[in-house]
Amino acid sequence: MKLFLATLITFSSFLLASDIDKQRKLRTEKHIKKVMEDEAKYAREQAFYTADEYDFEGSEVNEESLEVIKAPEVDDLNMDHVYD
C-alpha cells in the first residue's frame, strides 16, 4: 500500500511539474510576442517622428496670401457678466 501511495505521489508530482513547465513556456511565448509587437509599434512611431522621408512643401504657408486675411474685430472683452 505504501509503495502504491509513493508511486502515485511521484507520478502526480511529475504530471504537475510538466504542467507547470508547459504553462511557463506559454507565458514566455506570450510575453515574447507582446514585446515583439511593442517593438514593431515603437519602430513605426520612430519612423513617423523622424520625418526624414516626408515632403512638407505642400503645407507651407504663402506669406503673400496672409495680407488678404483681415484680423477679426473685437467689440467687447468684458467678461464680468459671465461670473454673475
pLDDT tens over the chain, length 84 residues: 888 888 888 878 777 777 777 888 889 999 999 999 999 999 888 877 776 667 777 788 888 888 888 887 877 777 777 776
Rounded distance, CA 4 to CA 23, Å?
28
| Residues 8, 16, 9: CA angle, nearest 5 degrees | 15
Q: What is the pTM of this model?
A: 0.43
Rounded distance, CA 49 to CA 41, Å?
12
**Helix ranges (DSSP H) in 1-84:** 2-50
